[in-house]
Amino acid sequence: MLEDSIPLHSPTWKEMAFFFVSGAIIGIPVNAYLHNNLMDVITGISPFYLLIICELVLCPFIEEFSKVFGLIYRHGETQQSFFKLAVLSGLGFGIAEFLILSFDTRTFFVINFSGIFFHPLTVAITAYGLATNQAFRYYFLAVFFHFLNNLFLILLPSNIIALLTSVGIVIITYFIVRKIQNKTKNQFMA
């Protein structure tokens, strides 16, 4: 058994730094690749519907997968250490996305700021599912929160209302993640 051959392990600061960076250098390119290739497949519809399909349907699925991608083959971790590495990966992804959206697309940076906090939370939800053999259930929960966040950011008429709604979703997601974090154990993943 795995438990007999590998001692419990807590990530070092170097491992944590690696997963923080991997959120940006693995998550963002995987996200961009999948997003761009799927966008190329969708042709012949109006820009508004393309935006809706991409940002509300495809983006949550792609981003939630991309953020956890670097963690999928991680073995020998406890639920708690895997959860911690996932949060760091999501933070790296969130900061990189914030910088890209704020400077490359020239969107109002305050609107993008909540993503720095949102992405670590949703990847933590997915990671808990992976750690407890309930991956699809928790992956779809993370996708649902991502969908809601994007829905309000796209459809609300003003940047301030969109920001406040996004912050509200981040706060709700935070409390759910805290409940999930309290369920993690210092034992090997299921």
- Name the domain count of the chain: 1
Q: Is residue 21 part of a domain?
A: yes
Residue 190 lies in a domain: no
Q: Is residue 23 part of a domain?
A: yes
Residue-number span of the structural domain to which 18 is assigned: 2-183
Q: Name which residue leads in pLDDT, 118 or 187.
A: 118
What confidence tens digit (pLDDT) does each residue in 6-33 have? Answer: 666 678 899 889 889 988 888 888 888 8
Is 52 part of a structural domain of the chain? yes
Domain-located, residue 188: no
Using 50, 70 and 90 to split pLDDT, how confident is the model at 49?
confident
- Position 83 in a domain: yes
For residue 4, name the pLDDT band (cuts at 50, 70, 90). low
What is the model's pLDDT at position 83? 92
DSSP string, the chain: -HHHHS------HHHHHHHHHHIIIIIHHHHHHHHHHHHHH--SS-HHHHHHIIIIIIHHHHHHHHHHHTTTT--S-BHHHHHHHHHHHHHHHHHHHHHIIIIIS---HHHHHHHHHHHHHHHHHHHHHHHTT-HHHHHHHHHHHHHHHHHHHHHSSSHHHHHHHHHHHHHHHHHHHHHHHHH--SSB--
Residue 189 is assigned to a structural domain of this protein = no
Does 125 map to a domain?
A: yes
Q: Is the pTM of this model over 0.75?
A: yes
